[in-house]
Amino acid sequence: MSASIGGLLIRPPLMNSSSPWASSHEDLSNLYECPFTGAVTTRTATLSGFQEDAAIHQVAFHSESATSINSYGYSPHPLSSYIRWVGDILGRNADSRKPFIISITTNASSELREMLGIIQALRRSLSDGTSSTRVGVEINTSCPNITGQPPMSYEPTRLRPLLDVITEFVAQDEFFVVGIKLPPYVHSNQFVDVIDVLSSISPSRAESATRSSRHPIAFLTCTNTLGSCLLFNSQTLDPKANSSDFALPTIWGGMGGESIHPLSLGNVRAFTQLLQSHSEEAMRDIVVIGVGGVTSPAAVARMQEAGASVVACATILGRKGVGVFEELVKGVKGS
Ligand SMILES: Cc1cc2nc3c(=O)[nH]c(=O)nc-3n(C[C@H](O)[C@H](O)[C@H](O)COP(=O)(O)O)c2cc1C
């Protein structure tokens, strides 16, 4: 009942995925202290904090299924807050091996270099540099809600400059665990395009600068929400009085929960098959974190059956709170 991603030990292989319910120091402490989470993922941070506006950035739940729609961007708290909070929680739990996955985002390689440098400084301060590590990084390349900034991973070749920065860091520290958060894809060529860009930074490639024999990317998190969805106010759990017809002020938003479960399962299965059958050994080591419509123990089991090494959820955490992990863990294989 555990999974290893590089030096991260995730036991049980169940956790939250990045969301506003993993935003504050208190949220993160509660998730960390829950005995049924094997790791904790933070809300996505930018270097300086995202300007959140409660009139625009909202979430609504469907009245008839465990489905959400949201218009959030990223965390209003800058990366430095997560560094402080993660450092504090791990410092207070020095005997625990439960890791944090710090979710970050940027489109610029220079900024990514700065952010990864800050996270590496935290790891050094925690003496987190050996075969066992308690801090990993997830680079969110797939938020569908940022006006004028389509998710980079819908055009995988745009990821290459960021992947080159990750390669530099992993070349200097092979225990640095870095993954990328991907959107739901809807066509088989899209999976192949992602695999091709990952293969282009594989250590077996002559042009690759890495000294390490491992792939710079340790995991793929599949999937983020499905963008451009629409729910009507009348379909929501808590319809707003005197509101527009729509569940969100932005009208369109990212859908999560039960409604995207089959698509997320399909993405998890497609990526695990392509990775595991890849001709390059380093590609076969990349694992998949399965996210999307995990709202019941049966859904956890389906994610594992589809190939996920670790299973995570957001919508059902928002609906039911941290206590939901005690129920979900019953679906973990071998529990
Ligand atoms: C309200 C809300 C906010 C989210 N914010 C983030 C985020 O900041 N970063 C991120 O990588 N994913 C974010 N997600 C996506 C989730 O991590 C997850 O990938 C997606 O919702 C599918 O999982 P689910 O079906 O369990 O909700 C968010 C999801 C929701 C519902």
Q: Which residues contact 101 (CB under 8 A, 6 or more apart)?
A: 8, 15, 39, 40, 41, 42, 135, 136, 137, 138, 179
Can you give the pLDDT at residue 243?
73
Residue 18 Cα: closest atom of ligand 1: 17
Does position 206 have pLDDT exceeding 60, yes or no? no
* Protein residues with CB under 6 Å of any ligand 1 atom: 17-20, 43-44, 59, 68, 70, 72, 74, 103, 140, 181, 224-225, 256-257, 260, 291-294, 313-315
HEC letters along 33-93: HCCCCCEEECCCECCCCCCCCCCCCCEEEECCCCEEEECCCCCCCCHHHHHHHHHHHHHHC
Can you give the pLDDT at residue 115?
98
Can you give the pLDDT at residue 132?
80
Can you give the pLDDT at residue 320?
98
Residue 213 alpha carbon to ligand 1 centre in Å: 32
Backbone angles phi, psi at 119, to 5 degrees: -70, -40
Residue 68 Cα: closest atom of ligand 1: 31
Q: 117 in helix, strand or coil?
A: helix
What are 310's strand-pairing partners?
289
Structure tokens at 178: 């870095």
Does position 69 have pLDDT exceeding 70, yes or no? yes
Can you give the pLDDT at residue 211?
54
pLDDT band at 212 (very low <50, low <70, confident <90, very high): low
Can you give the pLDDT at residue 92?
96
Residue 142: DSSP 8-state: -
Does position 208 have pLDDT exceeding 80, yes or no? no
Lowest-confidence range among 61-70, 204-213, 237-246? 204-213
Can you give the pLDDT at residue 335?
80
Does position 103 have pLDDT exceeding 70, yes or no? yes
- Dihedral sign computed on CA atoms, order 224, 41, 231, 253: negative
Question: Higher pLDDT residue, 241 or 88?
Answer: 88
What is the average pLDDT across 6-18?
97
CB of 210 closer than 8 Å to CB of 176: no
Residue 256 alpha carbon to ligand 1 centre in Å: 7
Does position 124 have pLDDT exceeding 90, yes or no? yes
What are 291's strand-pairing partners?
312
Does position 209 have pLDDT exceeding 70, yes or no? no
Cα–Cα distance measured from residue 268 to residue 248, given in angstroms and rounded to the nearest whole number: 29
Instruction: Report the nearest-CA residue for atom 10 of ligand 1.
Output: 18
Pairing of strands 219-222, 177-182: parallel
Residue 76 alpha carbon to ligand 1 centre in Å: 15
Residue 211 alpha carbon to ligand 1 centre in Å: 34
What tens digit of pLDDT does each residue of 235-289 get? 999 998 877 899 999 999 999 999 999 999 999 999 999 999 999 999 999 999 9
What tens digit of pLDDT does each residue of 307-323 get? 999 999 999 999 999 99
pLDDT band at 18 (very low <50, low <70, confident <90, very high): very high
Does position 129 have pLDDT exceeding 80, yes or no? no
Cα–Cα distance measured from residue 30 to residue 45, given in angstroms and rounded to the nearest whole number: 19
Does position 232 have pLDDT exceeding 60, yes or no? yes
What is the average pLDDT across 86-104?
97
Percent of the chain with pLDDT over 70: 97
Can you give the pLDDT at residue 188?
97
What is the average pLDDT across 286-312?
98
- Exposed/middle/buried for residue 116 (C-beta within 10 Å: 0-12, 13-18, 19+): buried
Residue 295 alpha carbon to ligand 1 centre in Å: 13
Domains annotated on the chain, with CATH: 3-331 (3.20.20.70)
Structure tokens at 40: 């904790």
Rounded to the nearest integer, the mean pLDDT of the chain is: 96
Q: Which residues contact 199 (CB under 8 A, 6 or more apart)?
A: 205, 278, 280, 283
